[in-house]
Structure 1
Amino acid sequence: MSQAPVLYLIVCAAPPAQRIGELVELLMADGWRVCLIATPIAASWLDCDVLADQTGYPVRAQWRRPDDPEPHPPADVAAVVPATFNTLNKWATGASDTLVLGILNELLGSGLPIQVFPRVKAVLTAHPAYQPNLERLREAGVVVHDGDVLRTPEEMSPNRWAVVVDALRATRSDT
């Protein structure tokens, strides 16, 4: 029997991050092995011990030492939920000054399926760098979902994560 596919769930510091445990539960019920990787600020918002117990893997936010073993199995798919203005723009330009960005840049180079669910303030989406950087990521093969997906009135409803789970389920079927 084959093991469940591995999903790298990359979490940035935006309001939906505070409820990421709900998404993890749904994804695991849907057949994923979930490995959480968080920006340093997002990690400070999370109960990393509870999430590590939930997933069976440590929540990563910092680089590991060269001699330390890799704590997560290799990914089959990655999702950035929520993706912030800062992370998206830095990623599109190739910056790797955090673990999240380093991993995203490596995954982009690997050709692995990557789904992105932005949570960006409307005033920031008007910044002249934002749309061209999203386009750059799309051209590299990243699926960037509508920025309102995590901002809708349903954001706080019980089915707030349905669009994410459905999109990742479709990705899993394609791999």
Structure 2
Amino acid sequence: MTKTLYVISCAAPPARFVTIGIRAAQDRGWDVALVLTPAAHRWSVEEAGGERELEELHELTGHPVRHTYKLPSQSDVLPPPDALLVAPVTLNTTTKWAAGHADTLALGLITEALGLPLPVVALPYINSAQAQHPALAPAVATLRKAGVRYLLDDGQDDGGFTPHAPKHGRVGAYPWGLALDVLDGFTDAPAPEPRG
């Protein structure tokens, strides 16, 4: 039986190449559904191919690309997730997630996931200046304590994304494969107990 992976992408440069992560996950047998933050959705519509790009992502995944909450009267258009990959995740989303904010669909899904028996992997894309922000370390610690595998190379985890100098990011080196390897390890193990 195919398992469903929600890829939650924030407005960071690797989101412009989310198809790399989607295809890699599909190659590993995942049914992928894509959820964008409002800013990442705006990038897709205004900076890329517009609605055509969203249609191509819909065609690639077989699911509508979501970015806003549905109305209470509307049915869910995505299957329930078996795991979540938050990639790329920004400083903004990381700190809001750790604080329990749910003012966007993306945040609502990942904050709720902390209380569900779902594997959650987060792969950041931040620069070295952002990495020094005093809100980051406690946010990452909170998320890790809640069971999230937050893949930041900060000496607290087994490697992960290494922050780059400002304006010197290497989008082509974004480690989608690492996140999927960790996710595979997560999902090969017995399902985690609900948190909280």
Structures share a fold, TM > 0.5?
yes
| Unmatched tracts of structure 2, length 5 or more | 45-52, 154-159, 192-196
Are 1:33 and 2:31 matched, yes or no? yes
Letter in 2 for 1:169: D
- For residue 161 of structure 2, the aligned residue among 149, 154, 159 is 149
Distance in 1, matches of 2:184 and 2:25, equals 9
Conservation of the 8 A alpha-carbon contact between 2:9 and 2:15 = yes
Matched AA of 1:28: Q
Mapped partners of 2:138, 2:162: distance in 1:
21
The answer for the alignment partner of 2:131 in structure 1 is 125
How big is the shift at 1:172?
Answer: 2.4
The Cα shift of 1:35 comes to 0.7
Equivalent position to 2:111, from 99, 105, 114:
105
CA distance in 2 between counterparts of 1:89 and 1:154 reads 23
**How many percent of aligned residue pairs carry the same amino acid?**
34
How far off its partner does 1:160 sit? 4.6
Alpha-carbon distance, 1:45 to partner: 2.4
Change (3 A) 1:16 1:102: same
The alpha-carbon deviation at position 155 of structure 1 amounts to 4.2
Counterpart Cα distance in 2 of 1:161 and 1:117: 8
In 1, Cα distance between the equivalents of 2:36 and 2:171?
20
The match for 1:73 is 79
Instruction: Look up the SS of the partner of 1:10 in the other structure.
Output: strand
Stretches of structure 1 that go unaligned for 5 or more consecutive residues are none
Q: Distance in 1 between matches of 2:22 and 2:32?
A: 7
| 1:32-51 matched pairs, under 5 angstroms | 32-46=30-44, 47-51=53-57
The count of corresponding residues between Structure 1 and Structure 2 is 172
User: Among residues 125, 136, 139, which one is paired with 2:145 in the alignment?
Assistant: 139
Contact 1:10 1:81 in 2 (8 A): yes
1:27 touches 1:34 (CA, 8 Å); kept in 2?
Answer: yes
TM superposition shift of 1:124: 1.4
Kept in 1: contact 2:12–2:88 (CA 8 A): yes
Contact 1:16 1:150 in 2 (8 A): no
TM-score by length of 2: 0.81
Task: Compute the displacement of 1:102 (Å).
Answer: 0.8
Q: Contact 2:5–2:85 at 8 Å: present in 1 too?
A: yes
The amino acid across from 2:3 in the alignment is P
| Match in the other structure for 1:83 | 89
Secondary structure at 1:164 match in 2: helix
| Counterpart code for 2:126 | V
RMSD: 1.9
Deviation at 1:150, TM superposition (A): 6.9
**TM-score under structure 1 length normalisation:** 0.90
